[in-house]
Amino acid sequence: TRFAPSPTGFLHIGGVRTALYNELVARQSDGDFILRIEDTDQTRFVEGATEDICVSLKRIGILPNEGVWIDDDGKIFERGLYGPYTQSKRTEKHRAYAQQLVEMRRAYYCFCSSERLDDLRKTQTLAHIPTMYDGACRTLSAEDIQSKLASGEKYVIRLKLPREGTIQMQDAILGEIKFDWSLIDDQIIIKSDGFATYHLAAMCDDHDMEITHVIRANEWVASTPKHIFIYESFGWELPIFAHLPLLLNPDHSKLSKRQGDVAAHEYIDKGYMPEALINFLSLLGFNPTGDRELYSHEELISLFDLTKVNKAGAVFNAEKLHWMNEQYIRILPIEKYIALTREFIVTEEKDEIFIQRCLIGVRDRISLPSQVVELVQPFLQQDIEYSQVSIAWKKQTLDEARNRLIALREIIVGLQDMGVSELEAYIKNSISEKKWVVGETLWPLRVALSGEEKSSSPFELLWILGKERSLKRIDSAIDFLKG
């Protein structure tokens, strides 16, 4: 398989899904997954786009084993037996193939000026007929062609497609599709600048690189008859074609930047984990088993089935991605979780164990690593403001709440360093022994430690803050309740 993006800007998140599906099919079959850069449209080339494509795929973990790639120093290189893999470097090969098609009378020189073609389109538009080339140069004599070439007239080369009849194709996802040749334009395959268009270059390169599965975006369905025509003209064996459904916004419009992020690197930069992105994108149009939603990369390789990809467009549900990222954050080993989130905390606090406990304490409340900044801040602040919260529980008086905190303070003074579950068991046992009401005890304690009406449990807060910080906050709450 091959993923063959054009270096005309950042890698689109939809392109990542295309790359992923290609990678899954290749790995599943113990085959090769190639990254090819299709840069024959030099007018749209964007500096740095190839690097963005490679770096984005690398960071997500979709790794081609052949083709264009990037080293640790950011330098682009190529590897594999079927290079070059940058399409513009294959220009002579493409021209040779085009010349063969001309000699087989499956393509022809077209000398029509851009002015004539513009006038033709305007006339066809006014007449409400399809805008397509009228074939004026299809019947030029060999003498006329040679004369024009000799005089240096500009030309393109077009496919000489059938004018009548139909063509049928089998798509691994869409099934059987029929096209009417009369509605298909004589496609330009060599432009006036000498570069091949996608239609010739991609098909010739796919053949030369022994691509068995052409898995690409749905937008290429209408062009497939032209591609089959090229294959059949040379007598080549057709690859399996599979056209992926579009990615859609929630309003079912085509996924676009107007309604959210579409660049792959934006998702990575925001802290979406590679495992979550791969899992999420794989399910946009495909459901391996239907009984769960979390799959490892290796599981997806074994379960993926092109024939089970949905025909309809898939809605890009950002909330689902948030949820999925949250699940993967929760199952990260503690060391990796801390490494992922620690860089977001900028503080003068020197106690690294305390900072790490803060991060662990908010782990179940984040879907993106950057969210720890806001969630950890209440733990790091030195002075707690209690004027906006109720330390007393329900009908409990302020004096009762204060006395309960004083009693709790004596218990906490004698505590050794414990885990959250041990702290919970110890304090609940003390509550039971003293026959205290649970709410009248734990509510004041939790608010005293957090300064908030909604927070982590008091046992988690005690563990995160440690004895010294906990006592300091309890003292502040007792002083506040003096009035």
Per-residue pLDDT tens digits for 303-340: 999 999 999 999 999 999 999 999 999 999 999 999 99
pLDDT at residue number 482: 86
Residue 41 — very low, low, confident or very high, per pLDDT cuts 50/70/90? confident
Q: Is the dihedral of CA 346, 352, 355, 359 positive or negative?
A: positive
**b/e burial code for range 49-88 (CB count within 10 A of at least 16 → b):** bbebbbbbbbebebebebbbbbeeeeeeebebebbbbbbb
Please report the pLDDT score of residue 290 as a whole number. 77
**What DSSP character marks residue 440?**
H
- What is the pLDDT averaged over residues 33-44? 92
Question: Considering just the CA atoms, what is the radius of gyration of the chain in Å?
Answer: 32
**Which one is predicted more confidently, 415 or 429?**
429
Strand partners, 158: 108, 188
Instruction: Give me the pLDDT at residue 261, please.
Output: 65
Mean pLDDT (whole number) for 172-182: 96
Q: Residue 203 pLDDT more than 70?
A: yes
At 260 the pLDDT is 55
pLDDT per residue over 222-243, tens digit each?
A: 999 999 999 999 999 999 999 9
| Active-site pick, 122, 154, 257, 472 | 257
**Degrees, nearest 5: CA angle 92-215-58:** 85
With 60 as the cut, is the pLDDT of residue 258 above it?
A: no
Token digits for 350? 């020197």
State the pLDDT confidence band at 382, using cuts at 50, 70 and 90. Answer: confident
* Mean of pLDDT over the chain: 94
257 is catalytic: yes
Q: What is the mean pLDDT of residues 61-82?
A: 96
If you average pLDDT over residues 122-132, what whole number do you get?
92
- Residue 324: its pLDDT value, please? 96
Instruction: Report residue 182's pLDDT band, with 50, 70 and 90 as the boundaries.
Output: very high
> What is the predicted pLDDT for the residue at 214?
98
Confidence of residue 257 (pLDDT cuts 50, 70, 90): low
- What pLDDT was estimated at residue 42? 82
Distance of alpha carbon 52 from the chain centroid: 13
The alpha carbon of residue 343 and the mean position of all alpha carbons in its chain are separated, in whole angstroms, by: 23
Per-residue confidence band for 96, with pLDDT thresholds at 50, 70 and 90: very high
pLDDT at 175: 95
Q: Which of 165-169, 344-348, 415-419 has the lowest mean pLDDT?
A: 415-419
Residue 159 structure tokens: 């496919």
Distance between CA atoms of residues 283 and 291, nearest Å: 13
**Residue 292 pLDDT > 80:** yes
CB distance 474 to 449 below 8 Å:
yes
- Lowest-pLDDT choice from 102-116, 198-212, 247-261, 374-388: 247-261
Section 249-262 average pLDDT = 74
**For residues 40-47, average pLDDT:** 87
pLDDT for the residue 34: 98
For range 104-129, the mean pLDDT: 94
* pLDDT at 40 (0 to 100): 86
For residue 37, which of 72, 64, 60 has the smallest C-alpha distance? 64
Residue 7, pLDDT > 80, answer: yes
Q: Does residue 392 contact residue 444 with C-beta atoms inside 8 Å? A: yes
